[in-house]
Structure 1
């Protein structure tokens, strides 16, 4: 299980659920930005890296996986540029050539002599930050359930879908655990769909990282998100270990009160399986793709 080869004939699915409620306008620690802005940066970084990983160092992009992003706040809707209500999932090759725009960002890099210089770097943008409305997580998970069900019926031999829910709060339209259970029951011949949950925090609170049990969780919301989360399959346990996290069989794809570093690494771990050669390919670089 969770070992299907990922190729153009058998692509994988990455589906993100992004909380766009009003609370995401809260500041992110001392960064001078909001949680919504930091999340958009992380997602655009993830998508940009994914495009690179699906290339062979030239202009060819291979459709090793497909991507969808559902935002939830003022309702639930596709927010990935190029997607629509009628077409919520798009292949990575289409994503690569169709960003919303390309921002020019100043970054500090080494000057080769022990100092730093500022260089202008183009950053493709597919998702913009938004913070407005409530937190209809039940509706979001149900929408993901419909997307995953349709996708699985068309990709019986593929690696199971990976769904990552990112939120800073608690569901405002009921308990999402029943919908999460139905979503995780879907799958392909290679296993059940994976649902991971990432909870963001604005302050310096104790982080919960890939727990294997609900013991010691800080509150009811943490318990619900833990219950919703799938255990990490072997390839992702390896990826988490590679990044220095203490995990073991049974550790779940769940972070609570995550900071910016943990958020970025969590998204990376969530995509390490959806590449043709998994962890080896990501650590060796895109030139190893076949």
Structure 2
């Protein structure tokens, strides 16, 4: 399981569910930003990197996977520009062509001679920060369930869908166990859908990262999020270990009291579920191609 090859006929699905409740307006520890602002930046960076990594060094973006971002707060629906309740997920090529806007930012970068210079860079934006309403987690997963179900039916040979829920609080509309259990039973031929949960913290506190037991979780809400989380597939365990996380067999895709750096790390680790060798290696080796790839080549992610 969790070893299906990723190509344009067998794309993978990455679906983010992001908390947009009132409390996301609170500061996110050392970032100098609100949780909503820092999370939106992390998601936009992830989407931008995904576009670059699927471009194979040319101007064409190849649809190796599909992406969706669902926001839940005062409203539950598509948070990714160009999506809504009727179309929550889109191919990565659509993302490349349809940013909400492109911001210009000034960053200080090394000049190659021991100094630094100011350089203007362009930053595509697909998701804006929002902090409004309660935390309707049951409604969020209920909206996700038919999307995952129909996607699995349409892509039976693909790597299973990956759902990453990012929240800073507890569900305000009931217990999400039943709907999450149903989603985790949905599967492709390569295995059941994966659900991971990230709890954000605005204060300094002890983090629990990728545990294989709920023993260290005294907070009932944390224990619930742990219960809702899938075990990490082998490729993700390896990716986490390579990044210095002391993971053990049975570790789940769950973070508690996560700071900004850890969330960004986990989003990178999470993308490594998309392919056994990691999203960062989807295009590895392809720069040596000197002739166009066959558009019907089912093995085009192997270089």
TM-score bracket relative to the smaller structure: over 0.9
1:83 aligns with 2:103: no
Following superposition, the deviation at residue 117 of structure 1 comes to: 2.2
- C-alpha deviation, 1:284, in angstroms: 5.5
In the other structure, the counterpart of 1:228 is 228
Alpha-carbon distance in structure 2 between the residues aligned to 1:102 and 1:280: 23
* Residue equivalent to 1:38: 38
> Distance in 2 between the 1:55 and 1:276 partners?
19
* 1:180-195 → structure 2 map (5 Å cutoff): 180-195=180-195
Gaps of 5+ in 2: 289-300
Residue of structure 2 in register with 1:159 after alignment: 159
C-alpha separation between the residues in 1 aligned to 2:283 and 2:222?
32
Q: For residues 198-217 of structure 1, what are the structure 2 equivalents within 5 Å?
A: 198-217=198-217
* Secondary structure of residue in 2 paired with 1:231: coil
Report the Cα offset of residue 72 of structure 1: 0.2
Contact 2:4 2:275 in 1 (8 A): no
Distance in 1, matches of 2:78 and 2:259, equals: 26
Bigger shift: residues 75-84 or 158-167 = 75-84
Provide the rounded CA distance (Å) in 1 between the counterparts of 2:283 and 2:161.
22
Q: Offset of 1:24 from its aligned partner?
A: 0.1
- What is the CA distance between 1:287 and its match in structure 2? 4.1
CA contact (8 A) 1:135 1:172 kept: yes
Question: Which residue of structure 1 lines up, in the alignment, with residue 141 of structure 2?
Answer: 141
Q: How far apart, CA to CA, are the structure 2 residues paired with 1:25 and 1:185?
A: 34
Match of residue 111 from structure 2: 111
TM-score, normalised with respect to structure 1: 0.96
* Cα displacement (A) at 1:277: 4.2
**Contact between 1:65 and 1:275, CA under 8 Å: does it hold in 2?**
no
> How far 1:108 sits from its partner (Å)?
2.0
CA distance in structure 2 between the aligned counterparts of 1:3 and 1:252, rounded to whole angstroms: 18
* Cα distance between partner residues in 2 of 1:46 and 1:286: 21
Mapping of residues 1-290 of structure 1, within 5 Å: 1-275=1-275, 277-278=277-278, 281=281, 287=287, 290=303
- 2:295 aligned partner: none
TM-score by length of 2: 0.92
Moved more, 3-12 or 265-274: 265-274
Cα distance in 2 between the residues matched to 1:154 and 1:246: 37
- Residues 228-259 of structure 1, C-alpha deviations (whole Å, 9 max, x = no match): 00000011111111111111221000000001
CA-to-partner distance for each residue in 1:7-30, whole Å, 9 max, x for gaps? 000000000000000000001124
Q: Secondary structure at the match of 2:29?
A: coil
Runs of 5+ unmatched residues, structure 1 = none
1:285–1:129 distance in 2 versus 1, CA, 3 Å: farther
How many pairs does the alignment contain? 290
Q: For the structure 1 residues 243 and 110, does the alpha-carbon distance in structure 2 shift closer, same or farther, using more than 3 Å as the test?
A: same
Q: Residue 124 of structure 1 aligns to a residue in which SS?
A: strand
User: In the TM superposition, what is the alpha-carbon distance from 1:280 to its structure 2 partner?
Assistant: 7.0
Matched residues in 2 for 1:187 and 1:254: separation? Answer: 20
Distance in 2 between residues matched to 1:71 and 1:32, nearest whole Å: 22
Question: What's the C-alpha RMSD, in Å, of the aligned pairs?
Answer: 1.7
Distance in 2 of aligned mates of 1:92 and 1:164: 17
* Secondary structure of residue in 1 paired with 2:144: helix
